[in-house]
């Protein structure tokens, strides 16, 4: 019996893969595509376990040595390739050490929760060297397992030459191998890569499922889990991130951002906006704005005296930044306007309006409200 | 785990496994060496293992075992400590993942990783092993390994093919331009039928470990790996996925022109003439002229270097009764092959200037059949 | 330029032959000595002045001027037809003179050369002395005059040689540079032509002093890497590497060019020339073991204006006929149909090695070629036009390919 219990929802994908496994008609290369945080990576791991697990009754059993090693991302025959940001080290050995550390961190995040999203500040790439090492691995017979598995995460980050160098091995992987590629958007991929894979679409996860997972994995209260599930737009990964980021430290960035807008004069604000739009990726900026929305939510909680729990109440009332921001957003209607403008700004950025323009417009509108408030 | 051993012995053992510890790896445990104690039949032993995921080296040495156990320790740090330790008994002990190294008045502590994190060691089933004399094995490897390809686009050629059929054992290596094939008769192989492609890394390690020793080496063919068992060292390597191209097909059967030359003089002449050859192709042209009678032929070796405005020409006597012909070769390839030819003379069986030549020595070494194929260069005026 | 402790100070000399073509002609034909001589392409046709002797220059005649204008300024000028072979021959002789003094000789053009004199002082004396010796030798052996400039890099050396013409010898020490550069116009620097200099003027940069002071970050932003070079030039910092005369850069392109005995106006003649050149290039490529992807055609018209155009192909070529085909395509676009052609050149660049080593396993290579072709076709037509039979079977299996990916027409299966 095949049981993908670790995967949330995705019934169609589960059906197709179980069917293929049962009939022993698994493709040698899959392209999982869909939003971030909906289970592509998680399924890749489960599939890797399924094809190597030694249990006779149920696969993957999660209990045998092989399943455990794969879950911990240390199985010698299951190779994982992540896109990485540019390294800052000056010498080769410095860069190498940096890279090892980075990958170890990424693996830690993914072992804590397979749905956890990996976030980077700079543009990430998959190097041609990684592809070469992967080919070397595929060209040798397996170490411990039955099948060699390679999971390449977010393959849209692969360079043109890297993609070309893997066409042959994707077309005919040597021996018994399974390649799983994941991506957010098929359109950005080379046709020659896509044509060599079986495509599987991963859909958005329904809110109820996300709520349930948040309650189960992070022990959130029903109310909070519901709130976060609502703003996660179908991505469990994002929901986990938001839930973890709901801590006081995490929202610091958004608070600092808002404070800057109201505390300083306009030219400094402009400089800051320019800095943000240069150094942050688009995703980062969207998150910042999400953070602002959560701050507004906190302000409204304080304003109404309405909290999820006693502990939270204490925490929020102690927060100095929130206290300061409350002086700029005295009335509830102002807070609502703030949230509305934040949503508008997010939409604008998603539709490719320049980040610096959108942020500036956002801050100007917020300041205007401040002026309005004074009047 | 707890054991003690003399520093010099531990250091020597460490050095034999260090060569396989990878310098750059994303799996942290690979930068560690596995230590495991054994007490079977009352004989205290320590097993040291290291791997880069493709090749394993496992070294066993006798130690004073005080407590059984296992642990993996960062290789470089451990080796440095042992190297710098005084010539005395060293005691190594571990609890959970903490390792303590004691000698004299010094106590050194490092953190290790559990054995479970380390890749599974290859299983050595001694019942299935066949034995081959170490010197013979080294000979087989030396005669073929130079022909292994480094072209990433044809991975099956990046290793040496080892094939056993009946009582015959064959090793073949080719990179598409030259091929080396050696076969031996070994009575101990009766009934086995293996066909594996071995990466050169483990073969090089093997020849290093065998050195000048004459003893037998045990070989175990696994489904996915090959294991070489020497006295106190076990080498294992993943095999390369096949299939190996059909090389029998490319060995010509109708080469009717035969050139026989003295190995030494041919080698030194080719080497000299190659000095002025084209820097890219290293082309040396063989101009063969038929001789009157069996030994009257001549071989003119020539080369041209356009950039230096240089050219070289030297003639050596040879036995050649075929039609006059010219054929060009990469001088380095020719020298590689000639280096492995034993005996006094070498034979080139040729056909046309664009087809493969068969090269073998005269006489052949007792009990072995060794030949090389060499594809020519397209001659450019 | 005192040689002190520390690394050897660079000493670069620039030798600039004065009114080269005209001087060579005057030496060759003593009747022309002392007379205003104009060397041109075609004395009868609509030609321009390639070089004017100093006597003619006194009348205001300049290089590049049209013949009729030159004749207007200097009615008794003698017109001589350009004879490249003579100039090249003389140029080679000059090089062999330079080589006596140093092996680091770089021919910059047919009448200019850079010499690296660093460290030759012990053998031949101070740089000035060496320069004098060179001038003396050139005068004695070839009867020609030159201007020599000496500086610590090529930029300064060339500037120095420009400062006194004809028969000049100018040493420019590093200490003098800031003062001289302050008021020097940017257009007098080698490498800054009229277009670039007018652009710099628009930015408010007129003198080298201005250039030196202009923020280099802005120059870099506007011109890229060139901006950095410009900034350095303003400070008098230039390239000081002079290659050994037998040292060549790795082969970047292989080309052949030929000057015709008389300007060609007929298509057949030009085509034949291009065919011949292409064959020669092809042969040289084969000899060096290269193949290339970019073909460049150069045409010089009878008035000496020269135009080049190149085309980069998707595949590599090395065969003369393929090169000829591509060159002719460029010709169709490049040729203006007006003037006659006096020189054509064909070159191939973007080189990679081509192997002449034959292979034991031919079938393998054929298969790889097939794979690459399939990819290319798929790329061009942007769809599943050709695929492997196995993949087709698989796709019939589950509903794994979403609607947008359904293969369209022309499905061909290849085994």
The pLDDT value recorded for residue C415 is 21
The shortest CB-CB distance from C398 to any of A19, A167, A168 is to A19
Of the pLDDT bands very low, low, confident and very high (cuts 50, 70, 90), residue C86 is: confident
Please report residues of C whose CB lies closer than 8 A to that of A20.
398
Q: Do B377 and C357 touch (CB under 8 A)?
A: yes
Q: Classify residue C263: in a domain, yes or no.
A: yes
Q: Classify residue C5: in a domain, yes or no.
A: no
Q: Do A199 and C400 touch (CB under 8 A)?
A: yes
Same-domain check for residues C111 and C211: yes
Chains that touch B (3 or more CB pairs under 8 A): A, C
Same-domain check for residues C109 and C200: yes
Question: What global pTM score does this model have?
Answer: 0.62
Of the pLDDT bands very low, low, confident and very high (cuts 50, 70, 90), residue C385 is: very low
Those residues with Cβ within 8 angstroms of residue B234's Cβ, 6 or more apart along the chain or in another chain: B56, B57, B58, B59, B60, B122, B124, B227, B228
The pLDDT value recorded for residue A121 is 64
Secondary structure of residue B43 in the 3-state scheme: coil
Task: pLDDT tens for chain B, 381 residues: list them.
Answer: 999 999 999 999 999 999 999 987 878 899 999 999 999 888 999 999 999 999 999 999 999 999 999 999 999 999 999 999 999 999 999 998 899 999 988 999 999 999 999 999 998 887 778 888 898 899 999 999 999 998 887 899 999 999 987 788 899 999 999 999 999 887 776 667 788 999 999 999 999 999 888 889 999 988 899 999 998 999 999 999 988 988 988 899 989 999 999 999 999 999 999 999 887 788 899 999 988 766 678 999 999 887 677 889 999 999 998 899 999 999 999 999 999 998 899 999 999 988 899 999 988 877 789 999 999 988 754
Same-domain check for residues C216 and C257: no
Q: Classify residue B243: in a domain, yes or no.
A: no
Q: Classify residue B10: in a domain, yes or no.
A: yes
Q: Nearest-CA distance from A199 to chain C in Å?
A: 6
Same-domain check for residues B18 and B68: yes
Same-domain check for residues B201 and B92: no
Closest-CA residue of chain C to A169: C371
Closest among C160, C155, C94, C86 to C127, alpha carbons compared:
C160
User: Any CB–CB contact under 8 A between B380 and chain C?
Assistant: yes
Same-domain check for residues C377 and C344: no
End-to-end CA gap in chain B: 72
Q: Do A96 and B53 touch (CB under 8 A)?
A: no
Domain boundary among B183, B203, B238: B238
pLDDT tens-digit series, residues C261-283: 778 888 888 888 898 889 888 87
Residues of C noted as catalytic? 112
User: Any CB–CB contact under 8 A between C332 and chain A?
Assistant: no
Residue C6 has pLDDT above 50, yes or no: no
Same-domain check for residues B158 and B57: no
Please report residues of C whose CB lies closer than 8 A to that of A16.
398-400
Same-domain check for residues C301 and C388: no
> What are the CA-CA distances from residue B208 to residues B138, B224, B295 (Å)?
9, 23, 43
Answer whether B219's CB lies under 8 Å from B228's CB.
Answer: yes
End-to-end CA gap in chain C: 75
Both tokens of B276, joined, read 């002025």
Same-domain check for residues B74 and B171: no
Same-domain check for residues B20 and B99: yes
Domain hosting residue C376, numbered range: 362-414
Q: Classify residue C327: in a domain, yes or no.
A: yes
User: Any CB–CB contact under 8 A between C401 and chain A?
Assistant: yes
Same-domain check for residues C107 and C68: no
Q: What is the number of domains present in chain C? A: 4
Same-domain check for residues B93 and B25: yes
Both tokens of C114, joined, read 């850079």
The pLDDT value recorded for residue C338 is 61
Please report residues of B whose CB lies closer than 8 A to that of A168.
153
CATH number at C349 reads 3.30.1490.100
Please report residues of B whose CB lies closer than 8 A to that of C287.
306, 380
Q: Classify residue B270: in a domain, yes or no.
A: yes
H helices present in C43-126, as ranges:
54-57, 67-73, 84-101, 121-124
pLDDT averaged over chain C?
A: 76
DSSP character string of A126-162: B-HHHHHHHHHHHTB--SSSSSEEEEES-GGGB-HHH
Closest-CA residue of chain C to B356: C360
User: Any CB–CB contact under 8 A between C400 and chain B?
Assistant: no
Domain hosting residue B106, numbered range: 2-117
Test mutation, C381, C400, C412, C415, chain A, max A CBs within 10 A: C400
Same-domain check for residues C401 and C298: no
Q: Classify residue B244: in a domain, yes or no.
A: no
Same-domain check for residues C295 and C229: no
User: Any CB–CB contact under 8 A between C402 and chain A?
Assistant: yes
User: Any CB–CB contact under 8 A between B100 and chain A?
Assistant: no
The highest-confidence range among A109-113, A253-257, B73-77, B241-245, by mean pLDDT, is B73-77
Same-domain check for residues C35 and C130: no
Same-domain check for residues B228 and B273: no
Q: Classify residue B246: in a domain, yes or no.
A: no
Higher pLDDT, A310 or A176: A176
Secondary structure of residue A91 in the 3-state scheme: coil
The pLDDT value recorded for residue B381 is 46
Q: Do C364 and B245 touch (CB under 8 A)?
A: yes
Q: Classify residue C183: in a domain, yes or no.
A: yes
Specify the range with the lowest mean pLDDT, choosing from B139-143, C2-6, C32-36, C270-274: C2-6
Q: Classify residue C4: in a domain, yes or no.
A: no
User: Any CB–CB contact under 8 A between C289 and chain B?
Assistant: yes
CATH number at B228 reads 3.10.150.10
Same-domain check for residues B255 and B355: yes
The pLDDT value recorded for residue A361 is 79
Same-domain check for residues B220 and B130: yes
Please report residues of A whose CB lies closer than 8 A to that of C383.
191
Q: Classify residue C242: in a domain, yes or no.
A: no
> What are the CA-CA distances from residue A82 to residues A164, C353, C362 (Å)?
18, 34, 38
Same-domain check for residues B57 and B161: no
Answer whether B180's CB lies under 8 Å from B172's CB.
Answer: yes
Q: Nearest-CA distance from C349 to chain B in Å?
A: 18
Q: Do A195 and C384 touch (CB under 8 A)?
A: yes
Same-domain check for residues C173 and C208: yes
The pLDDT value recorded for residue C213 is 82
Specify the range with the lowest mean pLDDT, choosing from A48-57, B60-69, C355-364: C355-364
Same-domain check for residues C329 and C275: yes
Q: Nearest-CA distance from C368 to chain A in Å?
A: 9
Q: What is the number of domains present in chain B? A: 3
Q: Do A195 and C397 touch (CB under 8 A)?
A: no
Domain boundary among B198, B217, B238: B238
DSSP character string of C295-312: EEEEEEETTS-EEEEEEE
User: Any CB–CB contact under 8 A between A16 and chain C?
Assistant: yes
Closest among C15, C42, C335 to C149, alpha carbons compared:
C15
Q: Nearest-CA distance from C375 to chain A in Å?
A: 6
Of the pLDDT bands very low, low, confident and very high (cuts 50, 70, 90), residue C137 is: very high
pLDDT averaged over chain A?
A: 84
Please report residues of A whose CB lies closer than 8 A to that of C379.
191-192
User: Any CB–CB contact under 8 A between A275 and chain C?
Assistant: no
CB contacts < 8 A, B to C, total 44
pLDDT tens-digit series, residues C207-264: 888 888 887 777 777 776 677 777 887 877 776 666 554 443 455 788 888 877 778 8
Chains that touch C (3 or more CB pairs under 8 A): A, B
Same-domain check for residues C58 and C138: no
Report percent pLDDT > 70 for chain C.
76
Within the 282-301 window of chain B, which residues sit less than 8 Å (CB to CB) from chain C? 283
User: Any CB–CB contact under 8 A between A26 and chain C?
Assistant: no
Closest among A62, A154, A75, A67 to A117, alpha carbons compared:
A154
Secondary structure of residue B134 in the 3-state scheme: helix
Q: Classify residue B311: in a domain, yes or no.
A: yes
Q: Nearest-CA distance from B178 to chain A in Å?
A: 22
The shortest CB-CB distance from C371 to any of A19, A168, A200 is to A168
Both tokens of B15, joined, read 């050095």
Domain boundary among B78, B99, B117: B117
Same-domain check for residues B136 and B205: yes
Q: Classify residue B149: in a domain, yes or no.
A: yes
Q: Classify residue C145: in a domain, yes or no.
A: yes
H helices present in C289-414, as ranges:
320-334, 362-381, 389-396
The structural domains of chain A, ordered by start, are: 11-201 (3.40.50.300), 247-374 (1.20.272)
Q: Classify residue B259: in a domain, yes or no.
A: yes
Same-domain check for residues B172 and B69: no
User: Any CB–CB contact under 8 A between B224 and chain A?
Assistant: yes
Please report residues of B whose CB lies closer than 8 A to that of C289.
278, 280-281
């Amino acid at each position: 019996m095949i049981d993908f219990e670790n995967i949330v929802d995705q019934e169609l994908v589960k059906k197709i893969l179980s069917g293929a496994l049962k009939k022993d008609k698994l493709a040698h290369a899959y392209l999982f595509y869909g939003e971030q945080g909906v289970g592509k990576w998680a399924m890749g791991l489960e599939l890797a376990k399924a094809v190597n697990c030694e249990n006779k009754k149920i696969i993957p059993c999660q209990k045998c040595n092989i399943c455990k090693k794969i879950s911990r991302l240390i199985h010698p025959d299951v190779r994982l390739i992540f896109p990485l940001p540019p390294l800052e080290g000056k010498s080769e050995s410095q860069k190498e050490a940096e890279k090892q550390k980075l990958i170890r961190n990424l693996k830690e995040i993914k072992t804590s929760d397979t749905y956890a999203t990996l976030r980077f500040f700079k543009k990430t790439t998959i190097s041609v060297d990684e592809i070469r090492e992967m080919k070397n691995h595929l060209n040798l017979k397996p170490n411990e397992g039955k099948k060699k598995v390679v999971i390449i995460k977010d393959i849209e980050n692969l360079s043109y030459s890297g993609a070309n160098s893997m066409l042959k091995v994707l077309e005919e992987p040597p021996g018994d191998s399974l390649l799983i590629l994941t991506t957010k958007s098929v359109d950005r991929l080379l046709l020659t890569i896509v044509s060599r894979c079986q495509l599987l679409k991963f859909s958005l996860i329904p809110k109820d499922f996300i709520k349930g997972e948040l309650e189960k994995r992070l022990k959130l209260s029903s109310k909070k889990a519901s709130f976060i599930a609502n703003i996660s737009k179908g991505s469990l990964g994002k929901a986990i991130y938001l839930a973890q980021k709901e801590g006081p430290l995490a929202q610091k960035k958004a608070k600092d951002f808002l404070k800057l807008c109201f505390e300083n004069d306009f030219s400094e604000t402009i400089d800051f906006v320019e800095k943000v739009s240069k150094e942050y990726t688009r995703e980062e900026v969207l998150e910042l704005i999400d953070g602002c929305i959560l701050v507004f939510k906190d302000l409204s909680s304080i304003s109404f005296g309405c909290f999820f729990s006693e502990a939270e109440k204490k925490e929020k009332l102690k927060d100095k930044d929130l206290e300061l921001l409350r002086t700029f957003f005295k009335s509830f209607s102002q807070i609502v306007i703030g949230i509305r403008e934040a949503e508008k700004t997010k939409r604008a950025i998603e539709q490719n309006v320049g980040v610096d323009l959108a942020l500036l417009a956002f801050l100007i509108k917020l300041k205007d409200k401040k002026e309005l408030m004074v009047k | 785990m707890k054991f003690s051993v003399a520093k010099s012995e531990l250091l020597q053992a460490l050095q034999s496994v260090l060569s396989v510890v990878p310098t750059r790896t994303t799996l942290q445990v690979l930068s560690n060496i596995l230590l495991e104690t054994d007490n079977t039949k009352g004989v205290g032993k320590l097993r040291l293992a290291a791997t880069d995921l493709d090749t394993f080296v496992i070294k066993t040495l006798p130690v004073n075992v005080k407590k059984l156990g296992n642990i993996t320790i960062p290789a470089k740090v451990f080796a440095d400590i042992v190297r710098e330790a005084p010539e005395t008994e060293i005691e190594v002990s571990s609890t959970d993942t903490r390792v303590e190294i004691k000698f004299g008045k010094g106590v050194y502590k490092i953190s290790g990783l559990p054995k479970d994190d380390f890749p599974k060691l290859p299983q050595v089933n001694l019942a299935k092993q066949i034995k081959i004399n170490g010197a013979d094995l080294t000979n087989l490897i030396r005669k073929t390994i130079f022909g292994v390809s480094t072209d990433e686009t044809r991975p099956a050629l990046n290793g040496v093919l080892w094939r056993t059929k009946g009582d015959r054992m064959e090793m073949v290596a080719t990179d598409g331009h030259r091929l080396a094939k050696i076969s031996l008769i070994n009575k101990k192989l009766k009934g086995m039928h293996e066909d594996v492609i071995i990466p050169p890394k483990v073969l090089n390690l093997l020849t290093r470990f065998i050195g000048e020793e004459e003893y037998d080496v045990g070989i175990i063919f696994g489904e996915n790996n090959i294991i070489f068992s020497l006295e106190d060292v076990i080498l294992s390597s993943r095999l390369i996925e096949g299939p190996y191209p059909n090389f029998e097909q490319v060995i010509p059967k109708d080469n009717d022109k035969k050139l026989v030359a003295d190995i030494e003089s041919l080698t030194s002449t080719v080497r000299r003439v190659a000095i002025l050859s084209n820097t890219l192709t290293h082309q040396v042209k063989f101009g063969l002229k038929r001789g009157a009678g069996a030994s009257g032929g001549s071989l003119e070796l020539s080369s041209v270097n356009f950039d230096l405005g240089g050219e070289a020409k030297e003639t050596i006597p040879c036995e050649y009764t075929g039609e006059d012909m010219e054929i060009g070769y990469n001088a380095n390839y020719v020298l590689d092959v000639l280096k492995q030819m034993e005996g006094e003379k070498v034979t080139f069986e040729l056909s046309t200037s664009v087809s493969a030549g068969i090269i073998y020595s005269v006489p052949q070494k007792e009990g072995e059949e060794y030949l090389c194929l060499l594809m020519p260069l397209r001659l450019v005026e | 330029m005192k040689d002190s402790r520390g690394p050897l100070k660079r000493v670069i000399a620039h030798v600039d032959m004065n009114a080269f073509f005209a001087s060579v002609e005057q030496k060759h034909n003593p009747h022309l000595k002392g007379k205003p001589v104009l060397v041109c392409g075609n004395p009868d046709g609509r030609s321009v002045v390639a070089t004017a002797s100093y006597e003619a220059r006194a009348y205001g005649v300049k290089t590049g001027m049209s013949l009729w204008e030159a004749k207007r300024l200097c009615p008794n000028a003698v017109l001589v037809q350009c004879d490249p072979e003579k100039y090249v021959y003389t140029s080679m002789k000059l090089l062999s003179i330079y080589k006596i003094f140093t092996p680091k000789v770089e021919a910059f053009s047919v009448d200019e050369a850079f010499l690296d004199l660093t460290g030759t002082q012990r053998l031949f004396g101070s740089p000035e002395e060496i320069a004098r010796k060179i001038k003396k030798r050139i005068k004695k052996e070839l009867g020609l005059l030159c201007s020599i400039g000496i500086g610590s890099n090529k930029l300064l050396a060339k500037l120095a040689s420009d400062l006194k013409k004809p028969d000049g010898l100018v040493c420019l020490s590093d200490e003098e540079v800031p003062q001289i550069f302050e008021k020097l116009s940017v257009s007098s620097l080698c490498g800054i032509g009229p277009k670039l200099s007018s652009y710099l003027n628009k930015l408010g940069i007129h003198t080298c002093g201005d250039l030196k002071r202009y923020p280099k970050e802005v120059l870099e932003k506007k011109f890229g890497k060139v901006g950095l070079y410009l900034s350095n030039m303003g400070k008098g910092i230039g390239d000081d590497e002079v290659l050994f005369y037998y040292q060549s850069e790795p082969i970047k392109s292989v080309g052949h060019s030929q000057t015709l005995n008389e300007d060609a106006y007929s298509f057949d003649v030009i085509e034949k020339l291009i065919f011949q050149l292409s064959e020669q290039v092809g042969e040289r490529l084969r000899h060096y073991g290269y193949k290339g992807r970019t073909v460049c055609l150069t045409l010089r018209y009878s008035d000496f204006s020269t135009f080049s155009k190149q085309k980069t192909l998707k595949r590599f070529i090395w065969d003369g006929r393929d090169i000829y085909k591509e060159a002719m395509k460029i010709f169709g676009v490049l040729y203006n149909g007006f003037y006659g052609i006096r020189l054509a050149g064909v070159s191939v660049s973007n080189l990679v090695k081509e192997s002449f080593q034959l292979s034991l396993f031919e079938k393998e290579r054929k298969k790889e070629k097939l794979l690459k072709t399939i990819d290319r076709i798929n790329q061009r037509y942007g769809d599943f036009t050709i695929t492997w039979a196995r993949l087709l079977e698989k796709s019939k299996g589950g509903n794994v390919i979403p609607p947008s990916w359904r293969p369209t027409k022309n499905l061909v299966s290849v085994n």
